[in-house]
């Protein structure tokens, strides 16, 4: 791949590695996949050859199936060499799920950002049998569909501990500006935000590789949501700032290794697309709320497609994030309805 490549996105591999197998995408860098029980049905993981051992980037969910696949990978593509270090890009369960298992069962060092570690460990310890009053209040404030609300109010909510192994005390922190050696390369650590706070990305100084986690994906935009834990967060502002900053690093020849979908080149174009996607969504949304709307009433202008039950929760928190950004930017006002839902309306 050369610097004069056209800026369009290109996919050097048409197909992902088969379950339990790996593709060598660069010397000493293996691409593997683990399944997920959801619409986005996979997570990409990477292994970097450190000579006598491996560094693994992200881990997949904690499950019997995932552990069995890992055992196959360790005996096969990883050639029986130990995994001595696990680097977690961000705290979401498909990325951190087996980090604690690697620490306890395999003696691996866990490397991640402070916010990712604190958030993941806190959430694994916060097991709820019923939705918290704060969560239910948040759903009402977003104008959640009444039938979906009644179902969620009765059912056991998703808990991190369902798919994330217990995390022991102790980890190694990375932060913006660090340089980490993995797979015979030196990588600059650049921190993203928006999809997850303090999301680590890694940019090789020695060749064209970028380990991007979910901060940069090729054909989908990462979910950006507001939750009951921080209802006045503004992850859209965080996302746009991070994308603008990371875009200054992007080269057409960068081979981007993301947490989902396929590795790709054409990063400068993709960064512009990711930024423009949310600016476009905000513009459509601002036009749509010329009359008062709740978050649950704003799926059409945001996503331009029908949202099914399985996607409803993620769509709702992303709608809240965009509306709250308009509100906090002074472009929209909001009024509390009698049923506790916030209605947002364009100013002027």
pLDDT at 7: 67
Q: What is the pLDDT of residue 5?
A: 47
pLDDT of residue 39: 87
Per-residue pLDDT of the chain (348 residues; tens, 9 = 90+): 333 445 689 999 999 999 999 999 999 999 999 999 988 999 999 999 999 999 999 999 999 999 999 999 999 999 999 999 999 999 999 999 999 999 999 999 999 999 999 999 999 999 999 999 999 999 999 999 999 999 999 999 999 999 999 999 999 999 999 999 999 999 999 999 999 999 999 999 999 999 999 999 999 999 999 999 999 999 999 999 999 999 999 999 999 999 999 999 999 999 999 999 999 999 999 999 999 999 999 999 999 888 988 899 999 999 999 999 999 999 999 999 999 999 999 997
Q: How far apart are CA 286 and CA 296, in angstroms?
A: 15
pLDDT score for 109:
98
What is the SS3 assignment for 136? helix
> 296 and 303 in contact (C-beta within 8 Å)?
no
Per-position DSSP letters for 244-275, written without gaps between them: HHHHTT--TT-EEEESSS--BB-HHHHHHHHH
| Helix 267-288 with 309-328: angle, nearest 10 deg | 80
As a whole number of angstroms, the distance between CA 286 and CA 33 comes to 39
Tell me what pLDDT residue 348 has.
79
Give the Cα separation of 129 and 109 in Å (integer): 32
What is the model's pLDDT at position 6?
A: 52
Distance CA 240, CA 272 (A): 10
Phi, psi of 236 (to 5 degrees): -65, -45
| Domains with residue ranges and CATH for the chain | 23-127+157-276 (3.60.15.10)
Q: Which pLDDT does position 310 carry in this prediction?
A: 87
Query: Rounded to 5, what percent of the chain is helix, strand, coil?
Result: 35, 20, 45
Q: Which residues pair with 44 in a beta bridge?
A: 33
């Amino acid at each position: 791949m050369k610097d004069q490549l056209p800026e369009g996105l290109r996919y050097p591999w048409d197909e992902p590695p088969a379950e339990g197998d790996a593709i060598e995408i660069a010397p000493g860098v293996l691409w593997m996949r683990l399944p997920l029980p959801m619409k986005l049905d996979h997570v990409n993981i990477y292994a970097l050859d450190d000579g006598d051992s491996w560094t693994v980037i992200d881990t997949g969910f904690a499950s019997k199936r995932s552990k069995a696949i890992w055992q196959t990978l360790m005996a096969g593509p990883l050639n029986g060499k130990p995994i001595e270090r696990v680097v977690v890009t961000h705290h979401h369960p498909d990325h951190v799920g087996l980090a604690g298992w690697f620490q306890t069962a395999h003696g691996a060092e866990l490397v991640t950002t402070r916010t990712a570690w604190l958030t993941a460990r806190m959430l694994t310890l916060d097991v709820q049998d019923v939705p918290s009053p704060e969560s239910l209040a948040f759903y009402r404030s977003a104008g959640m569909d009444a039938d979906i609300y009644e179902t969620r109010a009765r059912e056991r909510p998703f808990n991190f501990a369902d798919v994330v192994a217990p995390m022991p005390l102790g980890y190694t922190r990375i932060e913006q500006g660090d340089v980490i050696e993995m797979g015979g390369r030196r990588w600059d650590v650049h921190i993203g935000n928006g999809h997850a706070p303090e999301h680590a990305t890694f940019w090789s100084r020695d060749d064209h590789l970028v380990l991007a986690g979910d901060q940069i994906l090729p054909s989908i935009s990462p979910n950006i949501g507001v939750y009951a834990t921080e209802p006045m967060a503004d992850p859209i502002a965080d996302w746009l700032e991070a994308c603008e900053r990371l875009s200054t690093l992007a080269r057409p020849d960068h081979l981007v290794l993301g947490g989902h979908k396929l590795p790709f080149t054409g990063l400068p174009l993709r960064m512009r697309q990711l930024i423009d996607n949310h600016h476009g969504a905000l513009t459509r949304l601002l036009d749509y709320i010329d009359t008062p709307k709740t978050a649950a009433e704003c799926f059409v202008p945001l996503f331009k497609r029908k949202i099914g039950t399985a996607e409803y929760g993620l769509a709702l928190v992303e709608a809240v994030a965009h509306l709250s950004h308009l509100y906090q930017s002074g472009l929209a006002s909001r009024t509390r309805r009698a049923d506790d839902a916030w209605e947002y309306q364009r100013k002027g």
